C-alpha cells in the first residue's frame, strides 16, 4: 500500500473515513478484499507471496494498514503484511499493547509505517524511531515516508478528502 488519506473525527456523521490505494508491485500476486477462511472475522486483501495484508478490518470495528518506506528494503526478514493481521486477529488486545509489541520487534521487518485503530482511537508508529503516537482528530496522509510527509500525491489526496468533507457529499445508504 502506498497511499492512505484519512479523516479521524472530522465529519459529523462518520468518525473515521479512510481512502487507500495500493499502487506498487502490480505483478505481486494478491487476492481482493474478502473475509479470510482461516480468519473469518478479518476482511482484507491478501498478499499471496507472504500471506499478510496491506489493509484490513475486523468485525469488532478495528482496522490496520501498513506502508513501506521508500528505500527501506534492507533489514528484517519478517513480512510487514503480518503487522495488520496480527492486530486484527485479536480484538481483545489494546492498541497501546499491540503497538508496544510491534516496537519491541520492529527491527525484524524492513522499513514500515503502521496505522491502526477504530472509530474511537487511532495510533501510528514506524520502525525508524521508537515513538508511538496516538493521533488527535484531524486529516492525515501516509505514503512511503513518515506520517504527513508532504509528497504531491499525499497532498492531493488530503486536499480532495478535505473538499469531500467540507461539501458534505458523503451520504449513508439507508
Q: Binning pLDDT at 50, 70 and 90, where does residue 170 land? A: low
Looking at residue 71, its pLDDT comes to 72
The count of other CB atoms within 10 Å of the CB of residue 95 is 19
Per-residue pLDDT averaged across 8-31, rounded?
A: 88
The count of other CB atoms within 10 Å of the CB of residue 96 is 12
Domains of the chain: 3-167 (3.60.60.10)
14, 165 contact by CB (below 8 A)? no
The 10s digit of each residue's pLDDT in 44-65 is 999 999 999 999 999 999 999 9
Lowest mean pLDDT among 17-26, 56-65, 108-117: 17-26
Q: From CA 82, how far away is CA 105, in angstroms rounded?
A: 12
> What percent of the chain is predicted at pLDDT more than 70?
94
Amino acid at each position: 500500500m502506498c497511499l492512505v488519506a484519512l479523516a479521524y473525527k472530522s465529519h459529523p456523521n462518520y468518525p473515521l473515513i479512510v481512502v487507500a490505494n495500493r499502487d506498487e508491485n502490480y505483478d505481486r500476486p494478491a487476492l481482493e478484499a474478502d473475509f479470510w477462511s482461516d480468519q473469518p472475522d478479518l476482511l482484507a486483501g491478501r498478499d499471496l507471496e507472504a500471506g499478510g495484508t496491506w489493509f484490513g478490518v475486523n468485525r469488532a470495528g478495528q482496522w490496520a494498514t501498513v506502508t513501506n518506506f521508500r528505500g527501506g528494503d534492507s533489514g528484517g526478514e519478517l513480512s510487514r503484511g503480518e503487522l495488520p493481521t496480527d492486530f486484527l486477529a485479536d480484538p481483545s488486545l489494546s492498541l497501546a499493547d499491540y503497538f508496544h509489541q510491534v516496537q519491541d520487534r520492529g527491527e525484524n521487518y524492513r522499513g514500515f509505517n503502521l496505522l491502526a485503530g477504530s472509530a474511537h482511537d487511532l495510533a501510528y508508529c514506524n520502525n525508524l524511531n521508537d515513538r508511538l503516537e496516538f493521533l488527535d482528530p484531524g486529516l492525515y496522509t501516509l505514503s512511503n515516508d513518515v506520517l504527513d510527509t508532504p509528497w504531491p500525491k499525499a497532498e492531493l489526496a488530503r486536499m480532495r478528502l478535505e473538499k469531500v468533507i467540507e461539501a458534505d457529499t458523503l451520504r449513508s445508504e439507508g
